[in-house]
């Protein structure tokens, strides 16, 4: 899918340095938006498992001590995956033009950060990257993750995309950890509308076909 399909005008294409770790869905969200819209960036790996985001050098640039984080080379720096996605997507079809639809997109992005990522991404990190056995994982992560997937299933049972009739930042924000939820012990076969939507988003992002 080319950038032009999503309506990013040439003048809005940016160049920046993106600090991230490819194991992190939060970092991949930003990378996918940048790739889709044709922004030019230089990727610098920051190993989150070994704590590189807490090194003095990194903290001096990005006091939040987390990735993704971007340096625009002119003194402007920005962290937080959804803030970065929205900044890069400004003016494109990934952000609905209608103000209410835009608010709906934000609704899902805020929900993702509070009710989805803290359960599904954290459980995945503990299981897949730290190798914690099931009995050492907080059961609340499981129930919260399942509740988030139930919520998504209810929404997607009636529509193909989170907002409107096409891909927006809401889908990209939510797909990042949903598509790897199995690595956190959540079998998406139990949430078929979610599973089908993951396939659509991956296709739109050029991961398939
Ligand atoms: N709310 C933040 C979360 C960022 C976050 O949790 N980053 C993790 C990787 S997914 C990280 O940098 N962890 C390393 C650390 O905290 O030292 C966002 O959406 O960007």
| Residue 103 belongs to some domain of the structure | yes
With the most atoms of ligand 1 within 8 angstroms of its CB, the residue from 22, 32, 48 to mutate is: 48
Of all protein residues, whose CA lies closest to atom 5 belonging to ligand 1? Answer: 66
pLDDT at residue 3 above 60? no
- On whether the CB atoms of residues 175 and 198 are closer than 8 A, the answer is yes
Of all protein residues, whose CA lies closest to atom 1 belonging to ligand 1? Answer: 80
Report the pLDDT value the prediction gives residue 13, as an integer from 0 to 100.
81
Overall number of domains in the chain: 2
Domain final position from 42, 71, 89: 89
DSSP letter assigned to residue 185? T
Same domain (yes/no): 34, 85: yes
The band of 10, judged by pLDDT with boundaries at 50, 70 and 90, is: low
User: What atom of ligand 1 comes closest to residue 53's alpha carbon?
Assistant: 17
Task: Give the residue, 6 or 61, on which the prediction is more confident.
Answer: 61
Segment 120-126 mean pLDDT: 97
pLDDT at residue 43 above 60? yes
Report the pLDDT value the prediction gives residue 185, as an integer from 0 to 100.
97
Report the pLDDT value the prediction gives residue 14, as an integer from 0 to 100.
84
| Residue 107 belongs to some domain of the structure | yes
Domain final position from 89, 110, 128: 89
How far, in Å, is the centroid of ligand 1 from the Cα of 109?
15
Domain with 47 in it: what CATH number?
3.40.30.10
| Residue 94 belongs to some domain of the structure | no
Of all protein residues, whose CA lies closest to atom 2 belonging to ligand 1? Answer: 80
Domain final position from 71, 89, 107: 89
Return the closest-CA partner of residue 156 out of 176, 141, 177, 170. 170
Of all protein residues, whose CA lies closest to atom 16 belonging to ligand 1? Answer: 66
Same domain (yes/no): 172, 83: no
Report the pLDDT value the prediction gives residue 202, as an integer from 0 to 100.
98
Same domain (yes/no): 122, 55: no
How far, in Å, is the centroid of ligand 1 from the Cα of 48?
8
Segment 30-52 mean pLDDT: 96
List ligand 1's pocket residues with C-beta within 6 A. 24, 26, 48, 51, 53-54, 65-68, 80-82, 113
Of all protein residues, whose CA lies closest to atom 6 belonging to ligand 1? Answer: 66
pLDDT at residue 4 above 70? no
Residue 195: domain span: 99-204
**3-class DSSP assignment, residue 12:** helix
pLDDT at residue 1 above 70? no
Rounded to an integer, what distance in angstroms lies between the CA atom of residue 67 and that of residue 86? 16
Same domain (yes/no): 33, 13: yes
How far, in Å, is the centroid of ligand 1 from the Cα of 23?
11
Of all protein residues, whose CA lies closest to atom 15 belonging to ligand 1? Answer: 66
User: What atom of ligand 1 comes closest to residue 84's alpha carbon?
Assistant: 20
Between β-strands 40-45 and 69-71, what pairing exists: parallel, antiparallel or unpaired? unpaired
- On whether the CB atoms of residues 177 and 118 are closer than 8 A, the answer is no
Between β-strands 77-79 and 15-20, what pairing exists: parallel, antiparallel or unpaired? unpaired
Same domain (yes/no): 119, 197: yes
Same domain (yes/no): 108, 85: no
How far, in Å, is the centroid of ligand 1 from the Cα of 173?
14
Same domain (yes/no): 67, 163: no
Return the closest-CA partner of residue 173 out of 37, 38, 42, 28. 28
pLDDT at residue 127 above 70? yes
The band of 178, judged by pLDDT with boundaries at 50, 70 and 90, is: very high
Of all protein residues, whose CA lies closest to atom 12 belonging to ligand 1? Answer: 66
How far, in Å, is the centroid of ligand 1 from the Cα of 24?
8
Domain with 108 in it: what CATH number?
1.20.1050.10
How far the first Cα of the chain sits from its last, in Å, is 11
Same domain (yes/no): 195, 115: yes
Segment 79-101 mean pLDDT: 97
- Percent of the chain with pLDDT strictly greater than 70: 94
């Amino acid at each position: 899918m080319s950038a032009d399909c999503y309506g990013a005008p040439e003048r809005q294409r940016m160049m920046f340095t993106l600090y991230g770790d490819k194991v992190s869905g939060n970092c991949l969200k930003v990378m996918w938006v940048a790739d889709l819209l044709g922004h030019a960036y230089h990727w610098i790996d920051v190993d989150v498992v070994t704590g590189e985001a807490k090194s003095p050098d990194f903290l001096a640039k990005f006091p939040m001590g987390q990735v993704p984080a971007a340096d625009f080379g002119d003194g402007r720096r920005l962290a937080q995956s959804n803030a970065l996605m929205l900044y890069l997507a400004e003016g494109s079809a990934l952000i609905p033009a209608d103000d209410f639809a835009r608010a709906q997109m934000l609704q899902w992005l805020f929900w993702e950060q509070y009710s989805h990522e803290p359960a599904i991404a954290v459980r995945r990190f503990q299981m897949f990257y730290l190798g914690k056995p099931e009995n050492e994982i907080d059961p609340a992560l499981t129930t919260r993750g399942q509740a988030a997937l139930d919520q998504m299933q209810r929404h997607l049972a009636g529509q193909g995309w989170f907002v409107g009739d096409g891909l927006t930042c809401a889908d990209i924000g939510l797909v990042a950890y949903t598509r790897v939820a199995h690595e956190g012990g959540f079998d998406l076969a139990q949430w078929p509308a979610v599973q089908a939507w993951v396939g659509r988003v991956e296709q739109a992002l050029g991961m398939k076909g």
